[in-house]
A = this chain, B = another copy of it.
Amino acid sequence: MSPAKIEEDHRRGFIVPIGGAEDKEGDVRVLRRFLEVSGGKRARVVIIPTASSLEDTGSRYEKLFKKLGAYEAKSLPIVTRADAARDEWLKYLDHASAVFVTGGNQLRLSTILGGTPMATAIRRANARGVSVGGTSAGAAILSEHMIAQGQEGNTPKAGLVTLAPGFGLTNRFVFDQHFRQRDRLGRLLTALAYNPFAVGVGLDEDTAAFIDADSKLSVVGAGGITIVDGAGLEHSSIAETRDGQTVSMTNVRVHVLIEGGSFDLTTRTASP
């Protein structure tokens, strides 16, 4: 599920992973900003509530996005793989300016949507300019390599994390969420210990990364984003480490950014 080809004259839409528990009643900064980059008052949001086991998750986001000024907000209650091939639901993607993926269990997203026409339609929509955001599980699924599950703790350990294929909107970042709240540095480091190609993005709750078409990431929200860059990694011991044992890693670069901060993937530089 790698990034769809970008057609000429089109710029990729924003990719917007959110760390979960985004504010919905106060100033609602993260979701307001998401609408702003998705057409503002003309925003047409398609909501994918599949990760959630609660029946009203989709309708709650419908009401919320409309209250925030979206022109349209439509939840597609996909619960089976057959649902993810329904023509009448795929058609909503043709006119959407945004796709929003709710929280829950990211393995419900990958098992129910993976390899379906709906997943392809979301990838293609992003490539032609539609912004795609998600919160918590909906953030994890956005990248090619998704953290499916893992354990808490600050130290990387072999076997601490389970990776699985996601939607593949980008393979340059790996997202983790509820980052500070659930003490997840260790599992993000472990994910990069296997292969430091991708950049790790640890998202605190009520905090989002807005990643533009030039792969520049900007922080919006109340918490921080921890960028873990393995470009300069000199050594990772995970090839020789048994499950449960600590992995040694040298020269990993870390940035902690708050609102207003940014990270440029092309130059690998952070700005506060």
Contacts and interface: CB of A to CB of B under 8 A. Distances in A.
A173 B164 CA distance: 14
A114 interface: yes
Interface string A89-117: 00000000000000001011011001100
Contacts of A107: 194, 238-239
Contacts of A68: none
Contacts of A193: 111
A269 to B, nearest CB: 17
Interface in A165-201: 165-166, 168, 171, 193-198
Contacts of A162: 159, 162-163
A84 to B, nearest CB: 11
A231 interface: yes
A42 B59 CA distance: 64
Given A81-B234, A144-B144, A197 B165 contact: yes
A82 interface: yes
A133 interface: no
A162 B195 CA distance: 13
A194 B115 contact: no
Nearest to A250: B81
A245 interface: no
A69 interface: no
Query: Which of A119, A194, A231, A234 has the most chain B CB atoms inside 10 A of its CB?
Result: A194
Contacts of A168: 2, 171, 197
Interface in A194-251: 194-198, 230-231, 233-236, 238-239
Given A111-B193, A114-B197, A171-B2, A165 B145 contact: yes
11 contacts: A1-B171, A1-B195, A2-B3, A111-B195, A111-B196, A114-B195, A115-B197, A115-B233, A119-B197, A166-B195, A168-B171
Interface of A: 1-3, 80-82, 105, 107-108, 110-111, 114-115, 119, 144-145, 148, 159, 162-166, 168, 171, 193-198, 230-231, 233-236, 238-239
Given A80-B235, A111-B195, A163-B163, 7 more contacts: A105-B239, A107-B194, A114-B197, A115-B231, A164-B194, A164-B195, A165-B197
